[in-house]
Structure 1
């Protein structure tokens, strides 16, 4: 059985959501970043971590890609143009949305106080919305890649959820509607329920 280490209120949400969508059993240790349980398996102290037997996997996108490939769901097949396009969109979300949100988080709480520059946050909010507007023009259907829900949807929706929690106002109505539709998926709701425990 898979074991996920990391609080659901983090990028661990992506891994838990993928496991729920794939119907795979798992055990959750909701350890926070930099906790002893995390440091025991990941020297960076970052979450999430997925263990499978003795194997340890880190990085949420690497983990969900592995799970999707292994279980034959949430992804176009490796070596296809559809997969290359899916990977390009996923990497774009990481570069243009996730990285912006993480920069704001670092300047809010992650960096030592004397290294934080809170004045950067309005610029990051502007950049996030500019990037989101550009991304919205490339969404191909009800899902990022068209008619099939993929791991790209997991990453994009998680970034939208993160933006809400970080008080980044999302100004694009189509993206607000998309996020609401993705959050209505039963697998998403099951993981969201874990955050209330």
Structure 2
């Protein structure tokens, strides 16, 4: 049993979806970033935080990778060439999609108004469009790594959804079809129930 701290409207959604997909039991504690309960576990105050064996683990990518390795779910074996390829796709999504969407969000809502630079948005959108095309080229079948779902699919789907709400999406047919497949999965829908309750 694990304890997950965070809101399903945040990157904690990725962890929730993974655990639902893998059939892992967990306790969900709904807290936003910097809540005292979160800061008690992680000095940065960021969510999600997973408590495993009494030890807190932060960062959604670190958490999901840890769980995938521990439970042998949605991942190639550590140390294999296939795992290195999988990790490369995961980092592509984090570096080229998640990071751009996060900067855009900060300059739209999160930074103090006097620190926001609205003029950066067109450059971010152009960069995201290029990177979105690169992701489409990664599709090797039903999923990013071929005929089996893996960790990068969770992160790519989360970012593609985020891009739609941020009006960054560019309507690439292959990615639209991929997103429709991923968001129809029963585990995704169960995770969405928590997200909708948290909204």
Partners of 1:22 and 1:73 within 8 A in 2: yes
| 1:180 maps onto 2:177 in alignment | no
Partners of 1:129 and 1:171 within 8 A in 2: no
For 1:1-150, what aligned pairs fall within 5 Å after superposition?
1-150=1-150
- Cα distance between partner residues in 2 of 1:192 and 1:54: 27
Comparing 161-170 and 131-140, the one that deviates more:
161-170
Label 1:12 to 1:67 Cα distance change in 2 as closer, same or farther (>3 A). Answer: same
Comparing 83-92 and 50-59, the one that deviates more:
50-59
Partners of 2:160 and 2:169 within 8 A in 1: no
- Cα distance between partner residues in 2 of 1:31 and 1:165: 23
Residues 37-63 of structure 1: CA deviation (Å, up to 9, x unaligned): 211211112111001232000010010
- Cα distance between partner residues in 1 of 2:47 and 2:24: 20
Residues 5-35 of structure 1: CA deviation (Å, up to 9, x unaligned): 1111111011001101110111111211122
Secondary structure of the residue that 1:56 maps to in structure 2? strand
- Cα distance between partner residues in 2 of 1:102 and 1:88: 20
Scaled by the length of structure 1, the TM-score of the pair is 0.96
Secondary structure of the residue that 1:196 maps to in structure 2? helix
How big is the alpha-carbon RMSD for the aligned residues of Structure 1 and Structure 2? 1.1
Give 1:124 shift. Answer: 1.1
Give 1:72 shift. Answer: 0.6
For 1:135-174, what aligned pairs fall within 5 Å after superposition?
135-174=135-174
Scaled by the length of structure 2, the TM-score of the pair is 0.95
Q: Which runs of 5+ in 2 are unaligned?
A: none
Partners of 1:14 and 1:155 within 8 A in 2: yes
Q: Which runs of 5+ in 1 are unaligned?
A: none
